[in-house]
């Protein structure tokens, strides 16, 4: 790989500093014993303790994680099967049409998606709450999973499938023993992307959540409207830490998958 020039490194450092500075600023004041973000008085963990002492906040946090895990898992199954179906289409026009429709959903504004689901649930009489949030999160996560799995499917050598069929493998064997193991890095990437998209989604959730059910992003928005509280900083710090752990976990899983695929060769 070509080494980056000094100017490129400075530019990248500048970009990352802009991206991460607000987050670290917010986390830094989560340890402030004062009640504002103006002056750092002394180190304290009282704001984190306040988060764990608030049972309602813990329930909301568990709801958020549950929705993220379920929507990520279901979207990964649907998206993976959808990607396999799209690639297996022989009609190129139909394949390109489906890919375009998939991309349209990705670039559609969250406000439009949220409003559309709100109208749909209202029309068919679905009560807003856990189910409506879960369904909408699955819906906007499926196109992301399709986009993450497709590259692995397209780079796969079709001679592997032909060889498996020649050896007597059924369609199910080809799918479960040849295709899925090969594209597993893309599947894991799709799952983690869906998970993180669900965790930090606000716009869509804001439209489809009802009374008695909320996710962390909506709750933080409500708390921020009521006034600045360093408890928000503590929650945001915890979410950021969990997200970093997820990314690290994905890195090691992806590294392990590549190591298995190459037989440990570098």
- H, E, C per residue of 159-170: HHHHHHHHCCCC
Which pLDDT does position 260 carry in this prediction? 56
Model pTM above 0.75: yes
> Mind listing the pLDDT tens digit for each residue in 217-240?
888 888 777 766 788 788 888 888
How sure is the predictor about 266, in pLDDT bands with cuts at 50, 70 and 90? very low
Average pLDDT of the residues in 154-173: 84
DSSP 178: I
> Mind listing the pLDDT tens digit for each residue in 68-98?
999 999 999 999 999 988 888 888 888 888 8
How sure is the predictor about 1, in pLDDT bands with cuts at 50, 70 and 90? low
pLDDT at 112 over 50: yes
pLDDT at 119 over 50: yes
Task: Tell me the C-alpha distance between 40 and 36, whole Å.
Answer: 8
- Collapsing DSSP states into helix, strand and coil, what is residue 264? coil
Average pLDDT of the residues in 108-113: 88
Task: Tell me the C-alpha distance between 261 and 181, whole Å.
Answer: 9
- Cβ contacts of 87 within 8 Å, gap of 6 or more: 95, 150, 153, 154
Which pLDDT does position 228 carry in this prediction? 65
Which pLDDT does position 258 carry in this prediction? 63
- Collapsing DSSP states into helix, strand and coil, what is residue 177? helix
Of the candidates 221, 246, 229, 218, the residue with the CA atom closest to the CA atom of residue 51: 229
> Mind listing the pLDDT tens digit for each residue in 16-58?
999 899 888 888 988 988 777 778 888 888 888 888 888 888 8
CATH fold of 56-230 reads MetI-like fold (1.10.3720)
Domain boundaries along the sequence of the chain = 15-53, 56-230
Which pLDDT does position 120 carry in this prediction? 92
> Mind listing the pLDDT tens digit for each residue in 166-219?
888 888 888 888 888 888 888 988 898 898 888 888 889 989 987 778 888 888
Average pLDDT of the residues in 100-109: 86
Arithmetic mean of pLDDT over the chain: 85
pLDDT at 264 over 70: no
């Amino acid at each position: 790989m070509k080494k980056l020039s000094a100017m490129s490194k400075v530019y990248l450092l500048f970009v990352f500093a802009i991206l991460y500075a607000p987050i670290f600023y917010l986390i830094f004041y989560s340890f402030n014993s004062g009640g504002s973000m103006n002056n750092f008085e002394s180190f304290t963990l009282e704001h984190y303790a306040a988060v764990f002492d608030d049972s309602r906040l813990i329930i909301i946090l568990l709801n958020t994680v549950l929705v993220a895990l379920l929507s990520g898992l279901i979207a990964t199954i649907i998206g993976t099967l959808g990607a396999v179906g799209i690639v297996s289409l022989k009609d190129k026009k139909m394949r390109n049409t489906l890919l375009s429709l998939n991309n349209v959903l990705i670039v559609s504004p969250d406000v439009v998606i949220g409003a559309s689901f709100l109208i749909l649930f209202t029309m068919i009489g679905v009560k807003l709450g856990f189910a409506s949030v879960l369904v909408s999160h699955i819906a906007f996560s499926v196109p992301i999973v399709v986009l993450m799995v497709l590259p692995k499917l397209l780079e796969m050598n079709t001679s592997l499938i032909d060889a498996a069929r020649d050896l007597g493998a059924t369609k199910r064997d080809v799918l479960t023993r040849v295709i899925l193991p090969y594209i597993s890095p893309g599947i894991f990437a799709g799952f983690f992307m869906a998970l993180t998209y669900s965790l930090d989604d606000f716009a869509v959730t804001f439209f489809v959540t009802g009374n008695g059910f909320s996710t962390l992003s909506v709750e933080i928005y409500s708390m921020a409207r009521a006034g600045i509280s360093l408890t928000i900083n503590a929650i945001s710090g915890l979410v950021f830490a969990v997200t970093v752990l997820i990314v690290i976990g994905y890195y090691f899983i992806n590294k392990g998958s590549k190591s298995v695929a190459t037989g440990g060769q570098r």
